[in-house]
Amino acid sequence: MTTRRRPRPARVAANLAGLVVAAFAVFPVFWMISTSVKPNREIFSATPRPLPAHPTLEHYRDVLAGELIPGVGFPRFLANSALVAGATVLLSGLIALLAATAVARYRFRLRTSFLVMLLVVQMIPLEALVIPLFLMIRRLGLYNTLPSLILVYLGFSLPFAVWMLRGFVAAVPKDLEEAAAIDGANRFQVFWRILLPLVAPGLVATSIFSFITAWNELIFALTFISTENRYTAPVALTFFFGRDDTAWGAVMAASTLLTLPVMIFFVVVQRRMVTGLTAGAVKG
């Protein structure tokens, strides 16, 4: 946005500051990946190097092929996490789409109240709900099952999903739907044939957000699951690796496996997240 060229020293200083910021932001991630491909003797060496002299995948092999408890390895925990996150995404996407359609397409009496409620419930500290939800899950007989997690993550991701999706639904021109209706399509056909394909990109972005919420969550997974082979990946990471402070290579390999999908997804939806979270604070 600056049209005028700045004097050279100022530009150099700005670029240098930029590099420092970039290094600070990236370094832990870099160090995680770098450690994960170093042989143990380099990890515990007295003079650490930034990059491995002899890169190795042994830690990934250990993490993926090794058994953390008899017969169960890290892939099982990744699969548990993927199952929980996948189910959360599907349910949350479907329910959010219905609600977003209502808010974006209809004027009704409680519309504003509903939107305010969406904002407010997003601010409920989930940490404060662990105890009542723990009791509820026990009463429902869902304690120590993966569906218990799907259920609570659905609750956590839904308000933001609706908030985010309503913009996408509103962006689909109403004329299209009206034209289809005039051509004799019923409401369901309009929804399925017209609205859904056009909202699909927004649905993907929203789904990714729900996925990240479910995939990263630790406290509830820690509290609701007691059988080890039902642990999600974050719980397995804190339990099996957190215990043993010497296996940093394996810890970093497992952390990398947990982080990478989130990072890839995050880059895809990053711009939507900002607009969703600051909700109209930024114009333009």
Establish if 207 lies at the interface with other proteins (CB under 8 A): no
List 7, 70, 110, 175, residue binding other proteins (CB under 8 A): 110
Establish if 57 lies at the interface with other proteins (CB under 8 A): no
Establish if 44 lies at the interface with other proteins (CB under 8 A): yes
Establish if 8 lies at the interface with other proteins (CB under 8 A): no
Establish if 2 lies at the interface with other proteins (CB under 8 A): yes
Establish if 171 lies at the interface with other proteins (CB under 8 A): no
Establish if 12 lies at the interface with other proteins (CB under 8 A): no
H or E stretch at 90: helix 74-105
DSSP state of 69: B
List 154, 172, 194, 205, residue binding other proteins (CB under 8 A): 154
At 102 the three-state DSSP class reads helix
Establish if 43 lies at the interface with other proteins (CB under 8 A): yes
User: Which pair of structure tokens corresponds to residue 227?
Assistant: 């059988």
List 128, 141, 183, 184, residue binding other proteins (CB under 8 A): 128
Select the span of 67-75, 170-178, 202-210, 231-239 touching other proteins (CB under 8 A). 231-239
- Report the C-alpha gap between 170 and 173 in whole angstroms: 7
Establish if 1 lies at the interface with other proteins (CB under 8 A): yes
Establish if 32 lies at the interface with other proteins (CB under 8 A): yes
**In angstroms, what is the minimal distance from the CB of 78 to other proteins?**
13
Select the span of 30-38, 57-65, 75-83, 170-178 touching other proteins (CB under 8 A). 30-38
User: Which pair of structure tokens corresponds to residue 155?
Assistant: 């609750």
Angle of the 74-105 helix axis to the 196-216 helix axis, nearest 10: 140
Exposure string for 137-166, b = 16+ CB within 10 A, e = fewer: beeeebbebbebbbbbbbebbbbbbbbbbb
List 89, 149, 152, 205, residue binding other proteins (CB under 8 A): 152
Report the residue number, 28 or 184, with the smaller CB distance to other proteins.
Answer: 28
H or E stretch at 89: helix 74-105
Q: Which of 51, 47, 45, 46 is nearest to 31 (CA)?
A: 51
User: Alpha-carbon dihedral of residues 126, 89, 270, 177, nearest 10 degrees?
Assistant: -120
- Report the C-alpha gap between 36 and 41 in whole angstroms: 12
Establish if 200 lies at the interface with other proteins (CB under 8 A): no
Report the residue number, 162 or 199, with the smaller CB distance to other proteins.
Answer: 162
At 72 the three-state DSSP class reads strand
- Report the C-alpha gap between 221 and 152 in whole angstroms: 10
Residues 265-284 that bind other proteins (CB under 8 A): 266-267, 270, 274-275, 277-284
Establish if 172 lies at the interface with other proteins (CB under 8 A): no
Report the residue number, 71 or 227, with the smaller CB distance to other proteins.
Answer: 227
